[in-house]
Structure 1
């Protein structure tokens, strides 16, 4: 049970307080007005909406004074709001404070026990009472008016009165209760709802308050270490991580795992809420100087000092969090919400810059001002760079998001370029670089880092050097073939540092074949002969190249220096000892100053022949291949002349080199050697290729060029060309090197030779061969071809070109002697032949004209012609023919003639020829003649 309550107001000097106030009002009539106005200002101004805040502060202060966690209970009873609390009971100083608008009973270390803030109760009542186990006090607007004899507005809290008779005791278990009869228009249920909404914030702000009960709904506050747990009536709880320092308390909500949930927009708490808006991630509860209303801070140095003290404590709150969550409490960029917010943010960021709260990758902690954040989310990279980048923040505080957050606080960011700068010049084991590459590759694949940012990334090489940039470096699965080799510019990655990232950045995955293509190795090969002749030991390079060629099966490294019988030579200038090629070369082509030499015998014995030939050493003729030749620069004999002979540049070049080094008497063996291998055989048989062209003009068979002979089987050329002497070569090879199979001249020189053979009176040239030879010459449009002095005439004789003409029409045979006519099968190419031989056309120089009279007859009117046309299935031409009893041209009788109009003697032969020419059936002229004589199908078929 509660102890018996003393006589109401016995120890609180209520009467004295009241008498003093009344005396002051009487002595100074304006004092009453001042007090009335002051109380009105508090009621409608600073302390509006702060009823429960102020009562909760009083309860927390009472608990603090008693040294025990406080409990607070809120109820509606009989139209009154009753707020009971545990802790230090009401005393005389408290009553005096309640009755003063300008004084407080606040003690050191308390929030404000029964001070000016009690005026907040006037928002709901004009008859408040405070009942404690030590006594109580009442205030009443009505009793004050009665005392003053006034009907107007009076101050309520200036005159204390004893509690009414029969005032109920303080509820069991509590020490004090404030009882507020609600004035008309105040909704009690709504008021309880507002109170309930303020409970969680007040429990956090008032550490001496452990429990709040609002109409049976109970909230509790418990503390475990730095975490405050606020449990709601429904059993749910909220957790706040707090740090209490000299400058106040910082608090941030956390989940059950300790992960912070930044508060976002909030207000300054002193420790109860003010109207000063803040945008910091954590809540500040600090003893900042405020106006009497406790809504606004007081401007001036004391406020800035208090905010500075609070900011000084802020890093300690961050240290309570695991490292990966600390950045959640770094203030983000944005506009301040108030002047206090601007000042506090500035102070907090400044403190975060200097205080050591960020975990350092190298150990310990550091401030933001000295911190550098890896902008790539890679703990492995952080670990690799911990001792390389000063001030590097430890993982997991890495990546773009942490970098952006800490940049607002002044931290530097280390990106890909920064990493490259930091590691340039480092000496680390190759395996260390491999770990570094792991982290960078992940960043590249996630598109956090662009490959061009890593262009200068150092790469350790197998020779112990570290070079800037992977481009051009080689990644070898087996670097053993390079043991002992020192080639300037050859960058082979150390196998312990080989990594896919280097390939992404331009390094080349290289097997033996790829290594042989390395520019640095190629350069070393190109200068190897000069190096060897100047005294440089090139044997390590030679052995390395040959080992690589042995593994790769390919080479094309003809510039490689190899020992010859007479010194160092290029590989492609050497012949294997005992090679078949040596048997066909001119002796003067092999030797010290000769184009070729023989590989040193002892050296040749050390390596397989296929390895030596792969680098260019000859055992047979070498082939030159170029899929896109641009000009004649392949070191082939007479290459430019061949190039000029072509109608257009070659689309591909495939040719045999060194043909000009063959001995004159060795060509049959040389051709057999060319045919023995597929690559040389293809070059030998390629139409229009350099090899065939050159052999036809320079190879020697039986003392003559191939084109001077015909194949033994080409008997249709007999008379103009003799069969090639016995060589033992098959005809297909003889044809490939230019031995004749037909009359077609290959060039102007060949055409001139054909003309000379035709004009050789010692040759018995069959008439048909002469006609075909002239036909071949008609197509010989070669520049520089000189016309012959003598020609082969139609009768087989050789005649002076000055008296010869080219037969260009069949009717001219009747007026020109055969020994002056040069003819070819048909007449279409007569003009071309005349141009080649520089002869006139017979038609152009014939002066004879038809001298006989003829009778015109339409072809359709000639029954015999119609019958022949029907048998042949030929269309009758338009027009007709002049039929002559006897057709004469000049004084010469002719069977037919054509001078734009066909003429025919009245004979079957004359009509047949004229009709055949006009009808375009000249080849059928003899058949038409026979049909005119015997117009019968049997004649046609026989």
Structure 2
């Protein structure tokens, strides 16, 4: 059954006619019903999902536009209904027709969504929507549509309108009422709607106030700045509009660029953008209003052309915030729009130039260090230089074609520029601050121009000289000296930065270290021989040396009795050193000469010494110079002079002391040939040094011996020669210790020739080829003492190799008699008692005991108290049946050879007191 098509007074919009038309269409074409159902489903779950508030707000904005007054919107949930009330033009017949059409709307050119297909967004929350307005209202109903169509299941809700006899709330002209479906969380819904308010107020300028659940937002605009106010916050947006587009960015202390956004047309689309500002543009959209239609590029180009003008609305110091950052686009539209915007920023002027005006990105030069002060100084030097500076600015502006100006390139640009010394000083001030902040490096500024006192400007401070308080005096001094190559910085340009970059202070000590002056000093002797006048240079250097310490000036040419000589080849007149030098060491062709006495009187001795003139023995590190020039008869006095000065005394412990030990002359012999009188332990090997008036500690420092010392093969050869000298009487202990010292020395035996004679253990000197070195103690009983060389334990093999003498164990082959009785150590009561007293473990094995032990060597029998047949600790031990023999065999078997005498005593008297007293 259908309603009458005649419009009744309570049906002002003729909804009955509309319903009749739709129902007839469904009856005439069964597929039409299915198409409408599918179309509405597509709109509900596809194109207009999550766009409820957007679509209703657009309708409210259109109503306000039509009425010509800014609109107000109120949203609340009342009695289970979401109610969206707005001011503006009320619902009319055209609007009702548009609401009930799934495929068309009757929007004007300026309308953004006045009751079009977007109303389908309400189906996300309801199946019974109503629109009430001044002059009438309509309702849609899933239930009533199902009853009117006679269909079951899913039906299109928004095709059949019914009149509604309801009024909107006071102060509002229209209200959309949406009974919420079961399961809809009204609080969550209102929260989500509240989250969209700010974007909608910005995009829809015809909306002035939006209230959601009692919370009110408002929009106001002054000179392109839109203020969006809420109870707990206020946000401002700077906008700039043109024909069909608006650029907008949040502002606080300058613009607050967006990190990511979407294109607004004017409400949000799904086209993601990465621009720092929002674009609200009238562009062709797909019916879903989510994507751009192909061919929308012209509208984007128009918007991009306006972007530089938008940037110019921002204060110059904040404009870089609106330059798109380099990165991958978020969408095809983002890539297209970014490229267009960057092209316009590159070609249109918008960047503030340091010299005034504005330049496009492609014509800009950006200083890569963050220093506005430096930019100001360079404004009239660098064309196209812009005020934004620093690494971030250079990186940001690279995308618009700006040329990055690094510190090194800047220095190149400054080369050849003529400016006053005061301007250069100001520039150095700024650069020093940057250097301290590590914004530039010393390498960057290495070629920085420097104005000189002579009017020139040279590249690079390295080697330049900075005047101090006495700059004019120094300048006069150096001018008279005519030292070429000295670069003297103009006093008004002198700055600490130049010192950091290699310039040197022009104080006396610093001038003395200047490379140019050093070069002049180095060639001064040669120049003097060529006939050049070196007196001015000598006076200049000496005057500087009078005021400051100096070293390394020994090449300075000075006058002497024999002509011009190097300062370090001259001796001061009257110096004590002249008393100890060999007369042949002084003269025209000699290593040294004497400084001209008249010249010497003009200068302090200290200044002359500072430039290298010799007054006494000098030191270079730990070496003492001119020792080789000492007269042989003057060594005692020379040693007293060396000991009198701290530097030379300290140097005696180094190479100089070693040289003196072998080359100085004391009583006709080298110091190392003597011993100190108190070194009695060396008696026989070395003679005591005669009394020569030199302290013992000085004598010891220059090599006079205080004890056995073998430092090198020379020492070893000398000691072996003394041991093999039959005219010397050497005690046996000293002999053993001397041979041990040679054996212990870290020597290359190939550098040491074996001696012809050696000293035996009885003091006899014997030919080396008749001797043997004792390496096993029991062998001493079968070898003549006058042919046996003994040393301290453990040195035998090394000494035999060094002397080229065999070990005794290699020279002796003995036969032991078999008349003894083998007895285990553990069965020898006296042995076990001694072992217990000394806490010695009783070894395994035993000893062959003989009444009398006779060993046969080369057919000759020798009595011996003990023997080890194999020559090893654990070989077969033999001993005569005496405490003396058994003690030695047992001590050797236990590896306690040093205890043999104590063991002997305990075998003779096993009383515990023997071991303790």
Q: What TM-score, normalized by structure 2, do the two folds share? A: 0.61
Q: 2 CA distance for matches of 1:130 and 1:419?
A: 70
Contact 1:564 1:598 in 2 (8 A): yes
- The residue that corresponds to 2:207 in the other structure is 209
Q: Residue 522 in 1 paired to residue 518 in 2?
A: yes
Match for residue 307 of structure 1 among 267, 292, 300: 300
Q: 1 CA distance for matches of 2:33 and 2:717?
A: 139
Which secondary structure state, in structure 2, belongs to the residue aligned with residue 59 of structure 1?
helix
Q: 1 CA distance for matches of 2:659 and 2:454?
A: 47
- The residue that corresponds to 1:62 in the other structure is 63
TM-aligned CA distance change 1:829 to 1:314, over 3 Å: farther
How far does the alpha carbon of each residue in 1:33-80 deviate from its partner, in whole angstroms, 9 at most, with x for none?
433432332223211221221110111122223332211112334544
Instruction: Give the superposition deviation at 1:471.
Output: 4.7
Contact 2:577 2:616 in 1 (8 A): no
- The residue that corresponds to 2:823 in the other structure is none
Query: Which shows bigger deviation, 98-107 or 315-324?
Result: 315-324
- The residue that corresponds to 2:271 in the other structure is 276
Q: 1 CA distance for matches of 2:623 and 2:584?
A: 33
- The residue that corresponds to 1:931 in the other structure is none
TM-aligned CA distance change 1:691 to 1:553, over 3 Å: farther
- The residue that corresponds to 1:175 in the other structure is 173
- The residue that corresponds to 2:759 in the other structure is none
Contact 1:624 1:657 in 2 (8 A): no
- The residue that corresponds to 1:253 in the other structure is 250
Q: 2 CA distance for matches of 1:181 and 1:609?
A: 114
TM-aligned CA distance change 1:559 to 1:51, over 3 Å: closer
| Bigger-Rg structure (1/2) | 1
- The residue that corresponds to 2:894 in the other structure is none
Query: Which shows bigger deviation, 186-195 or 60-69?
Result: 186-195
Q: 2 CA distance for matches of 1:246 and 1:829?
A: 125
Which secondary structure state, in structure 1, belongs to the residue aligned with residue 301 of structure 2?
helix
- The residue that corresponds to 1:648 in the other structure is none
Instruction: Give the superposition deviation at 1:212.
Output: 0.8
Q: 2 CA distance for matches of 1:612 and 1:193?
A: 94
Q: 2 CA distance for matches of 1:127 and 1:654?
A: 115
- The residue that corresponds to 1:42 in the other structure is 43
TM-aligned CA distance change 1:65 to 1:733, over 3 Å: farther
TM-aligned CA distance change 1:294 to 1:552, over 3 Å: same
Which secondary structure state, in structure 2, belongs to the residue aligned with residue 310 of structure 1?
helix
Which secondary structure state, in structure 2, belongs to the residue aligned with residue 549 of structure 1?
helix
How far does the alpha carbon of each residue in 1:87-136 deviate from its partner, in whole angstroms, 9 at most, with x for none?
23334443443343333332233323222212222333444443333544
Instruction: Give the superposition deviation at 1:548.
Output: 1.4
Q: How does 1:790-805 map to 2 (within 5 A)?
A: none
Match for residue 653 of structure 1 among 624, 634, 642: 624
Contact 2:262 2:270 in 1 (8 A): yes
Contact 1:655 1:689 in 2 (8 A): no
Contact 1:482 1:544 in 2 (8 A): no
Instruction: Give the superposition deviation at 1:469.
Output: 4.6
Contact 1:70 1:87 in 2 (8 A): yes
Q: 1 CA distance for matches of 2:180 and 2:269?
A: 25
Query: Which shows bigger deviation, 102-111 or 350-359?
Result: 350-359
Q: Residue 377 in 1 paired to residue 370 in 2?
A: yes
- The residue that corresponds to 1:336 in the other structure is 329
Q: 1 CA distance for matches of 2:327 and 2:489?
A: 49
Q: 1 CA distance for matches of 2:40 and 2:277?
A: 35
Match for residue 547 of structure 2 among 545, 551, 559: 551
Which secondary structure state, in structure 2, belongs to the residue aligned with residue 55 of structure 1?
helix
Instruction: Give the superposition deviation at 1:210.
Output: 0.8
- The residue that corresponds to 2:390 in the other structure is 398
How many residues align structurally?
691
Contact 1:430 1:496 in 2 (8 A): yes
TM-aligned CA distance change 1:145 to 1:653, over 3 Å: closer
Instruction: Give the superposition deviation at 1:653.
Output: 1.7
TM-aligned CA distance change 1:735 to 1:71, over 3 Å: same
Instruction: Give the superposition deviation at 1:525.
Output: 2.1
Q: What TM-score, normalized by structure 1, do the two folds share? A: 0.60
Which secondary structure state, in structure 1, belongs to the residue aligned with residue 349 of structure 2?
coil
Q: How does 1:435-584 map to 2 (within 5 A)?
A: 435-477=426-468, 478-479=470-471, 480-483=473-476, 484=479, 487-509=483-505, 511-531=507-527, 541-552=537-548, 554=550, 557-561=553-557
Q: 2 CA distance for matches of 1:87 and 1:544?
A: 99
Contact 2:71 2:208 in 1 (8 A): yes
Q: How does 1:717-736 map to 2 (within 5 A)?
A: none
Instruction: Give the superposition deviation at 1:252.
Output: 2.7
Q: 1 CA distance for matches of 2:591 and 2:192?
A: 113
How far does the alpha carbon of each residue in 1:759-809 deviate from its partner, in whole angstroms, 9 at most, with x for none?
xxxxxxxxxxxxxxxxxxxx9989xxxxxxxxxxxxxxxxxxxxxx97989
Q: Residue 198 in 1 paired to residue 202 in 2?
A: no
TM-aligned CA distance change 1:519 to 1:264, over 3 Å: closer
TM-aligned CA distance change 1:278 to 1:692, over 3 Å: closer
Match for residue 239 of structure 1 among 236, 248, 256: 236
Q: How does 1:470-869 map to 2 (within 5 A)?
A: 470-477=461-468, 478-479=470-471, 480-483=473-476, 484=479, 487-509=483-505, 511-531=507-527, 541-552=537-548, 554=550, 557-561=553-557, 611=607, 615=611, 622-623=615-616, 625-628=618-621, 652-655=623-626
TM-aligned CA distance change 1:56 to 1:596, over 3 Å: same
How far does the alpha carbon of each residue in 1:405-455 deviate from its partner, in whole angstroms, 9 at most, with x for none?
444565554444444444444444445455444455445544555545554
- The residue that corresponds to 1:71 in the other structure is 72
Instruction: Give the superposition deviation at 1:203.
Output: 1.4
TM-aligned CA distance change 1:574 to 1:377, over 3 Å: same
Q: 2 CA distance for matches of 1:68 and 1:690?
A: 112
Structural RMSD (CA): 5.6
Contact 2:95 2:106 in 1 (8 A): yes
Contact 1:73 1:85 in 2 (8 A): yes
Gaps of 5+ in 2: 1-7, 670-689, 705-715, 720-725, 731-761, 767-785, 788-917
- The residue that corresponds to 2:827 in the other structure is none
Contact 1:623 1:679 in 2 (8 A): no
Instruction: Give the superposition deviation at 1:209.
Output: 0.7
Contact 1:18 1:158 in 2 (8 A): yes
Q: 2 CA distance for matches of 1:86 and 1:382?
A: 56
Q: 1 CA distance for matches of 2:592 and 2:125?
A: 121
Contact 2:76 2:84 in 1 (8 A): yes
Gaps of 5+ in 1: 1-5, 629-650, 661-666, 698-705, 709-731, 747-778, 783-804, 810-827, 833-842, 845-942
TM-aligned CA distance change 1:503 to 1:227, over 3 Å: same
